[in-house]
């Protein structure tokens, strides 16, 4: 499919994926895509019969962009160190998440086909979170009895919701607050006597 150079098809997908991050799907018009990409009308409808087809391709691309970052969660190093690294990695809070944003687009959220890549991406990130959280519990870095699957959703939500708060106040600091607070809570949830697995006096 990919012919080896920056062809029209690729240009269209790149441009659409930018615009979907910036403006979402519903509010992005084929006209804008053509203007920004410089690709002509005929060309566009040759490669993508409908706006939705182009959006789907762009969405898959955005999802693919996102997943490598989360592989940081199962890289080398202690589990808590990886958790902190992923949680605190630099992110452009005021732009938001190019995948999470799609859930708020009325035309995406009502379209199972467009929503599917979003769901898959989040499920994959969730799996990675669960694994590292289980490791942390096993390593005695997090208290036993915590539910790794729940906690994974909690931490993903902190990031997704952090964007919402930051955008509302136009202040990236709120995103940083949200994740720093989450990290502080995780630390407070370490077994009570660090280095001694026999907590409390059970």
From the CB of 168, what's the least distance to DNA, in Å? 22
> Toward a second copy, which CB reaches closer, 8 or 116?
116
Query: How far is Cα 162 from Cα 103, in angstroms, rounded to an integer?
Result: 15
Interface with DNA includes 196 (CB under 7 A)?
Answer: no
Residues 160-179 within binding reach of a second copy (CB under 8 A)? 160-165, 167-170, 174, 177-179
Residues 81-100 within binding reach of a second copy (CB under 8 A)? 96, 100
Listed residue (67, 79, 23, 2) closest to 15, CA to CA: 23
From the CB of 95, what's the least distance to a second copy, in Å? 10
Interface with a second copy includes 131 (CB under 8 A)?
Answer: no
Q: Which does 104 bind (CB under 5 to 8 A by kind): DNA, a second copy, none?
A: a second copy
Chain-centre distance for alpha carbon 181: 19
Interface with a second copy includes 106 (CB under 8 A)?
Answer: yes
> Toward a second copy, which CB reaches closer, 1 or 168?
168
One-letter-per-residue 3-state SS of the chain? CCCCCCCHHHHHHHHHHHHHHHHCCCCCCHHHHHHHHCCCHHHHHHHCCCHHHHHHHHHHHHHHHHHHHHHHHHCCCCHHHHHHHHHHCCCCCCCCCCCHHHHHCHHHHCCHHHHHHHHHHHHHHHHHHHHHHHHHHHCCCCCCCCCHHHHHHHHHHHHHHHHHHHHHHCCHHHHHHHHHHHHHHHHHCCCCCCCCCCCCCC
Q: Mark the segment that binds a second copy (CB under 8 A) among 9-17, 35-43, 68-76, 158-166.
A: 158-166
Interface with DNA includes 74 (CB under 7 A)?
Answer: no
Which residue of 7, 14, 22, 111 would you call a contact of a second copy, by CB under 8 A?
22
> Interface residues with a second copy (CB under 8 A)?
22-24, 26-27, 96, 100-107, 109, 115, 118-119, 122-123, 143, 146-147, 149-165, 167-170, 174, 177-182, 184-186, 188-189, 192-193, 200
């Amino acid at each position: 499919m990919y012919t080896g150079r920056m062809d029209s098809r690729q240009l269209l997908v790149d441009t659409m994926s930018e615009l979907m991050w910036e403006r979402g799907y519903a509010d992005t018009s084929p006209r804008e895509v053509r203007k920004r990409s410089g690709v002509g009308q005929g060309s566009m409808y040759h490669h993508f019969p409908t706006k939705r087809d182009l959006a789907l391709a762009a969405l898959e691309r955005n999802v693919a962009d996102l997943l490598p970052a989360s592989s940081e969660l199962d890289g080398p190093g202690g589990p808590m160190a990886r958790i902190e690294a992923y949680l605190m990695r630099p992110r452009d809070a005021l732009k938001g998440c190019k995948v999470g944003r799609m859930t708020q687009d009325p035309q995406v959220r009502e379209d199972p086909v467009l929503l599917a890549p979003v769901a898959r991406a989040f499920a994959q990130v969730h799996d990675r979170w669960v694994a590292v959280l289980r490791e942390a519990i096993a390593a005695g870095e997090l208290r036993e009895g915590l539910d790794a699957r729940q906690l994974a959703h909690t931490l993903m939500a902190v990031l997704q919701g952090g964007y919402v708060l930051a955008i509302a106040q136009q202040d990236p600091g709120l995103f940083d607050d949200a994740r720093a607070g989450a990290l502080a809570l995780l630390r407070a949830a370490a077994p009570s006597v660090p280095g001694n697995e026999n907590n409390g006096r059970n």
